[in-house]
Amino acid sequence: MNDWKKKGVVYEIYVQSFNDTNDDGIGDIQGVIQKLDYLKELGVNILWLTPIFESPLVDNGYDISNYQSINNIYGTMEDVEELIKKSHDYNIKIVMDLVVNHTSDQHKWFQESKKSKDNKYSEYYIWRDPRPDGSAPTNHGSAFGGSAWEYVPERDQYYLHLFAKEQPDLNWDNKELRNEIYNMMSFWAEKGIDGFRMDSISFISKPQKFTNAPVVDNKEYGAYYYGIANGNNIHRYLKEMNERVLSKYDLITIGETPHTNTEEGSKFLDSNELDMIFQFEHMHVDYGKYGRYSDVSFKMSDLRESINHWQENLTWNSNYLGNHDQPRIVSRFGNDKKYREKSAKMLAMLTLFQRGTPFIYQGEEIGMTNVDFQSIDDMKDLEAHNTYDFLTRVGISSEKALDMVNRKTRDNSRTPMQWNASKNAGFTDGQPWIRINNNYKNINVEKDLLNKDSIYKFYQELISLRKSNDILINGDCKLLDLTDSDIITFTRNNNGEKILVICSFSDKRIKFDIPKEYKAMKLLISNYDSADFEGDVTTYLEPYEGRAYIIG
């Protein structure tokens, strides 16, 4: 991987919730352009934009009906060209979301495909005959609830959709389809974008024969990824994609690879098919009886175990704790009450100082929190609604179901960016498409910019330290004590240089014994003022303290 990619700090922008410039309540491309100064100041140098293409927005744009046209609620192709050009003037790269496991059912390809078994697009999607009794080919459920198969009378067949029924899965075994995708990718590369974040890419190679999947997490259907994740031809297709498109440009490639273990993950990296992947193991540390939406909190030791496992087994990680599909990190892994600022800073240190590419999701840099949705009607995400319906149907009280959905709904991270304390948090002068978090008067960018000890300033400092200390980029990463009840400790090492990072997840003041071999230490950064090291072997960590030392 070349230098600019290794040095990248990525900031994910959920466009519709970032900044609205024409007061229709929806964030837009001009809104991103307007905030380039802000992003440059923060220090990030790669922006990943969630999908802004033509779409009926059933899944907020992850259902694309035309890959080469911009959804006019976000702006125009000219706006995108302006964004690319201006970002490059700021030395900021632009990464687009590539959603090619599926399209929208409104895409021209699908509209044609569903008409008959013998037109140009018939084989662009995954069609299978019904079982003899007319039922779906297998018991697979979709990721969002319900069956993963939908019947179409015109063809007397079912099509597969791993996500919503309005998101039919593409058939990558079809060569013409693959060509169309490569052409579309070249179109964007020619426009000057700097990379792709590849949505659900571990699912693109489907089996010839589908078999029933095990039913897990008290669901009604079989696991949606069963027999599908990392299918037989995945490496063949990604190699072809490299040959046809990626190798011709200087592009960063970030594969979103649900249900991928370290062994499978290494294959993508070692053969240079992808620069990095998003794995999900650490996103499962608080799954329970009902999977993701269970009423369960994470154990720090599970999180640490997972970080250790991936740091040991993958040469380069994508380090993230949150994104547009996950709750807010300070609410999930930190403490969004008394220690919101302290824990947000500690989590930032954990993310930015590990080996790999750090990802910051919009709002993390000011410690935005989960939302307390009072009613299911306030939630926009289809997954939230499907889950709520399911939980109440299986006998969970509506109150409890709302609680469970609240804890994990993707809408937690999709409420508008909180820019200031004015009406609608400065996001829009219109009616926002989703409600604003009530706490915007207390948690907002303007406030953080004025306060020298803010979360934002801490992110800024961490990013700048990462830039000026090569060891934080190229050094290896070793976790130290894997049995401590509250602390994640790791070292970064490069040619004899060493940095020690200590992250406490306790809300109490706790004792920490500095490993004997690290006596000569100089404080690099801490989220408390009092963190000087005076050569003692024993030190005390404040609640959610994060500290890093240079050793030697």
Q: Tell me which of ligand ISL, Ca ion, none is bound by residue 503, counting a contact when its beta carbon lies within the kind-specific cut-off of 5 to 8 angstroms.
A: none
Residue 22 found at the interface with Ca ion (CB under 5 A) = yes
515 torsion bin: left (phi>0), alpha (psi -120 to 50), beta (else): beta
65 binds ligand ISL (CB under 6 A): no
> Whole-angstrom Cα distance, residue 399 to residue 416?
26
163 binds ligand ISL (CB under 6 A): yes
Fill in the per-residue mask, 379 to 408: x = in contact with ligand ISL (CB under 6 A), - = not in contact: ----x-------------------------
Could you confirm whether 199 is annotated as catalytic? yes
Q: Give CA 256 to chain center in angstroms.
A: 8
Nearest to ligand ISL of 192, 288 (CB atom): 288
Q: Which range of residues in 21-29, 97-105, 269-277, 439-447 is near Ca ion by CB under 5 A?
A: 21-29
Nearest-angstrom CA–CA distance, 206 and 149:
14
Residues contacting residue 147 through CB under 8 Å, at least 6 positions apart: 136, 139, 140, 141, 221
DSSP string, 432-460: -SSPPPGGGGTS-HHHHHH-TTSHHHHHH
Q: Is 200 in the site for ligand ISL (CB under 6 A)?
A: yes
Options 99, 245, 252, 303; binder of ligand ISL; rule CB under 6 A: 99
**Positive/negative CA dihedral, 110, 111, 113, 115:** positive
Structure tokens at 128: 């299978």
Nearer to ligand ISL, 66 or 474 (CB): 66
Distance in Å, CB of 254 to Ca ion, minimum = 27
Contact between 110 and ligand ISL (CB under 6 A)?
A: no
Q: 551 — phi, psi (to 5°)? A: -110, 140
For residues 390 and 383, what is the distance between their CA atoms, to the nearest angstrom? 10
d(CA 358, CA 506) in angstroms, rounded, equals: 23
20 part of the interface to Ca ion, by CB under 5 A: yes
* Residue 364 contacts ligand ISL per CB under 6 A: no
| Contact pick of 273, 325, 336, 364 for ligand ISL (by CB under 6 A) | 325
Task: Identify the DSSP state of 339.
Answer: T
Among the listed residues 199, 381, 383, 545, the single catalytic one is 199
318 binds, among Ca ion, ligand ISL, none (CB under 5 to 8 A by kind): none
240 belongs to the binding site for Ca ion (CB under 5 A): no
Distance CA 396, CA 233 (A): 41
Answer for which of 58, 143, 252, 417 binds ligand ISL (CB under 6 A) is 143
Count of residues in contact with ligand ISL, rule CB under 6 A: 13
- 275 near Ca ion, rule: CB under 5 A: no
Using rule CB under 6 A, residue 355 touches ligand ISL:
no
- Of 336 and 383, the one with the shorter C-beta distance to ligand ISL is 383
Residue 325 interacting entry, from ligand ISL, Ca ion, none, C-beta within 5 to 8 Å by type? ligand ISL
Residue 310 main-chain phi, psi, to 5 deg: -75, -35
Asked if 52 interacts with Ca ion (CB under 5 A), we say no
Q: Name the packing angle between helices 398-408 and 382-393 (round to 10°).
A: 150
Nearer to ligand ISL, 324 or 547 (CB): 324
Nearest residue to Ca ion by CB is 28
| Furthest C-alpha separation in the chain | 77
Q: Is 413 in the site for ligand ISL (CB under 6 A)?
A: no
DSSP state of 419: -
- Give the nearer residue to Ca ion in terms of CB position, either 35 or 342: 35
CB neighbours of residue 129 within 10 Å:
10
Nearest distance, CB of residue 65 and Ca ion, angstroms: 20
Kindly state whether residue 169 participates in binding ligand ISL, applying the rule CB under 6 A. Answer: no
Looking at 58-151, list the stretches that DSSP marks H as alpha helix, in order from N- to C-terminal side: 77-89, 108-113
| Nearer Cβ to ligand ISL (114/324) | 324
125 binds ligand ISL (CB under 6 A): no
Tokens of 112: 């044609």
Q: Which is nearest to 159 in space by CA: 105, 202, 213, 197?
A: 105
**14 part of the interface to ligand ISL, by CB under 6 A:** no
CB atoms within 10 A of CB 191: 14
Closest CA to 308 of 334, 285, 337: 285
The dihedral formed by the CA atoms of 40, 278, 30 and 455, expressed in degrees to the nearest 10: -40
Nearer to ligand ISL, 137 or 255 (CB): 255
Q: Does 429 participate in binding Ca ion (rule CB under 5 A)? A: no
Is 24 a residue that touches Ca ion (CB under 5 A)? yes
CA pair distance 115, 21, nearest whole angstrom: 41
Q: Site map for Ca ion, 196-215, x if CB under 5 A? A: --------------------
Query: Nearest-CA neighbor of 180 among 113, 258, 116, 228?
Result: 113
Span from 15-23, 96-104, 163-171, 290-298 in contact with Ca ion (CB under 5 A): 15-23
| CA distance readout (Å), 291 to 64, 284, 294 | 28, 8, 6
Torsion of CA 404, 324, 288, 313, to 10 degrees: -170
CA of residue 478 relative to chain centroid, distance: 24
Is 534 tagged catalytic?
A: no
Stated as kind and residue range, the H or E segment containing 256 is strand 252-256
Residues 251-290 within binding reach of ligand ISL (CB under 6 A): 256, 258
Minimum distance from residue 247 beta carbon to ligand ISL (Å): 26
Interaction partner, residue 93 (ligand ISL, Ca ion, none; CB < 5-8 Å by kind): none
Task: Report if residue 28 touches Ca ion, rule: CB under 5 A.
Answer: yes
Catalytic residue chosen out of the listed positions 12, 59, 256, 448? 256
Closer residue to ligand ISL in complex, CB, 59/364: 59
Where in the sequence numbering do the catalytic residues fall?
199, 256
Q: Which residues bind ligand ISL (CB under 6 A)?
A: 59, 62, 99, 143, 163, 199-200, 256, 258, 292, 324-325, 383
Q: Which residues bind Ca ion (CB under 5 A)?
A: 20, 22, 24, 26, 28
